[in-house]
Each structure stands twice: as structure tokens, then as C-alpha cells.
Structure 1
């Protein structure tokens, strides 16, 4: 029965808006011809009686490409057969080396937005605040479906791979966050990418929660990890803020 759960999940996932064989190919890491062969073996009802199950490794790989662990993917199919709501997928970004890959991979350029992904986090100071150094090249780009951008598709967006643990458990080390550099309105107790300092390098950014006490003007940069004390961020919010964090991908295996 487990394989039937798998088949039900896969067929349902492929029929959901925004999902496609092309997306599965990229996220699961298959060549186009190989994935087509596997899907034909799994979903071709004309030869269903003669079809043997695909290997366990391929089932795991496809489940991951759909955003699930293998056992969650089976649970997905079981819930569908039982008439229940399937569990949500684990969102993960599609990473490409350049925006040109959108066309090369045959993806809908209207549906997917490429966002530059940075590792170093260096920024340059400008009159109207802080922005990423135009000479700092993005290591890769991540693709986000336009419906996930919450009306921000025309904004200046950037992605960062988180290198520290100061925002754990909310944002573990190795997570990828997306910030909107056009969204700099101060909202107390929210998370932003902010200009910071590290090892004597002053053009750097950090991800912190911001607080402002009633009796002082200084903005406090707060870590969710209690082992890190608050940092005084100064009074000039415009110079401090790079952009608000609005999207996060993290490894949920340890949750």
C-alpha cells in the first residue's frame, strides 16, 4: 500500500498550481529524459499492472524534490486517499547560477523571479542608507515563485546565507533568508538585515530583531539566541537598515 500512497502523492503534487515536471526535475536533480522515464513508469495507467515500483532511492529523491521527507510524502498520499488534508511541503528555494538559466531550463520567466544570493554580506553606505556593494558579485541566484513574494516582485530583493547562530532557533546557521531593500519602515520587534561590524570590517550586515525602549532613542539589535547580548545600533534607522526579512528557508530536520 505504501507505493500507492507514493503514486497518489506524486500525481496530486504535479497537478497543483505552480508545480511542474520541470520544477521537480530541478529540485530533485534529475536529467529531463531520466525523470520522464521514471514518471512514465509511476503514472502510466495503461501499463499499471506490468509496472514494477521504482527504486526506494528514486522514491526518496522525488519526495525531496516535491518538498517532503519520504515518510511525509507517504503520509501525504494516505491523507489524500482517506479524504484528509495533506501535510504542508517543506519550502526550499531553487538555486541557479545566473538568471539566464531560467530560459535554459525552460522555466516561466513571468512566474519565477531570480534573486541574487550573497555569502559575504558586504554592503556599501549610500546617502539614503545602506545597500549591497555593486562590486560584490552574487554567488548564485535563487528562484521564487511570484505568488510567494507577497506583492514584492518589483522590489529590490536580496538573499543571504546565514553564517552564524545568533538568531537560533528561529533562523539556524545555514538558512537562507530573503530581504526587501525597499521595505525599511521601522516596526518594533521585527527582523531586519542591518549594517553591522565584524572583525574590523565595517561594510558588513547582520540579521537581528530590533527593539526601541521608551526611555532611550538608541535602537537595540536583539539576537534570538540568549547567549548573545543586545547591541546598540545607534539612532539613525535609515543608515542602519538594509531591508526587512520576509522569507526564510531552513532545515527542519531538527525541529
Structure 2
């Protein structure tokens, strides 16, 4: 795919926003057990393929590995700014962090004054190899660099040959993280956005069965507000990291809260 002009990229962004704003209650947009939206064929075909083609191989030096066998076995990038993003993936990130898209997401998800994260703390590219997993958990709530409150996660899956026996579905759990109420397949070019709070339990706790040469791939970005989460979404008042079911709702250090700056 040739380099896009600003006008071309804006046109694609407008189309993506339209797809998001057209999400229908009970079909693409859901309120239970927490608000989430699932949009298929999100990017134009050639645009999505450019992202897949630019996705780094697992041998690239960009990956950090999480290897806690009971709760998290995966790879992710450690972007510090947009200058770390591969050229073929940067246009997608620009759209997902653009003002039109953030405003559309705000409208659909019912959260005002959302902003993206220019530091990409925890965000970027994710890879789960065969045997990898992500225990049921709720995400961290606080952004050290800005002091903002985590509110939304957005994912775009890039798995063109996915088959059901591969597993790796995004599991949506009840407010206690006990029962999986829904599984969302990690289909190619599928966008998922969901509320991030202390009761939005999610994960893929069963080891994935993807082929050795075709890992589970996704782009993941996070969004924040100055305003705190509603009281109904708060279990832990203080800043905390991800809290894991298999760790009795403690973080990787065995704590409920964490130090922050």
C-alpha cells in the first residue's frame, strides 16, 4: 500500500467513525456485563493488510516478554512515542487516536472528554504464541504520566486465518470474574472497544492453540479521562495495576494497590 496523503487518511478515518457510530444495540453494541462494541471489517481491506504486513515477526527486537505461567504469557511492544511505531501500522494508530475517532468513541461508549495516550503506556502491539494465555483480570486504573483515569480499551485483531479450534477468544466475564458470559473471536480486522473498570473482567485464560508460525496478533490502545470512574465501577479507590483472578485479585507483586507518581 502506497503512503497515504492526509486527505486519504482523513477519508478512511471518517469511514471508520461512521462504522463505529452505526453500531446497533444488541448487534454490535452491548451493555452487559459491561459496555462493549464489536465492529467487523473495520479498516478497508488494503489498509488492514498493510498493518498485517508491517507487523513485526516474533524475532524482531521490539518485543518485551511477559512470562508468568499462571497469569500472563505473551509478548508486547514497549513504544514510548509514535516514533517507535512501524511505518505500516502508524496510519492505523493515527486513526484510532484521532480527534474524530475519539469523539465517535465517546458518543458510542457514553464517556465524555476522552483522550488517547501519547506515551502508549502498556499499549501497542501484542502477540500470543501457542501455549500463551492471559488470566481473567481487571486492568490498572491510573496513568502515571498524566494522573488520568483509565476508561477504555480498543483492540484491532489481525488474524486472517483464525479457526475456532485455535482458541484465543476474548472472554467477557461477570462482575466477579467467575463466569465467562461471552467469547469474542479474534477475527481479522475486527475492532473491539470496552469499558475498563474494576468490574470489567476479561481475559483468555485457556492456553491458545494457534499454529507455531501464526501467532495471535492485535493492536491495543488505551484511553483516559480527567473525571474519575463512576462510583459503581470502583472497587479499589487507590491506583492499582492489573488485578488477577488467579492471584486472588492482587497484582503481580501481591498487592492490591501500588505506588504512583
TM-score range, shorter chain: under 0.3
Q: Larger RCO: Structure 1 or Structure 2 (Cα < 8 Å, ≥ 6 residues apart)?
A: 2
TM-score, with length taken from structure 1 = 0.25
Name which one, 1 or 2, has greater alpha-carbon Rg.
1
